[in-house]
Amino acid sequence: MAYPIRHQQGLYFITCTVVEWLDIFTRPLYKDLIIDSLRYCQANKGLELFSYCLMTNHLHLIARAAEGYALSDIMRDF
């Protein structure tokens, strides 16, 4: 279930989970892919990332969108 982002420049605690909670982030290839994607969103999509915690099967973020960007668009592209 997706929850709407009502205030696009608001600060949010976001959790992204893996389908069926599979432990895929134990492999360096997948961890690196997530980190590279976050960095790309920071550099090119207006993601302001305050904190993150990458677990074996999910990701927590404390983030917001920079002025002129929409957090829902950033998360969709991520």
Name every residue whose Cβ is closer than 8 Å to that of residue 69 and which is 6 or more positions away in sequence: 8, 9, 45, 46, 47
Domain locations along the chain = 12-77
d(CA 70, CA 5): 9
* pLDDT reading at 4 higher than 90: no
Task: Report the top-level CATH class of 12-77.
Answer: alpha beta
Quick one: which H or E segment has residue 73? helix 71-77
pLDDT in tens, 38-74: 999 999 999 999 999 999 999 999 999 999 999 999 9
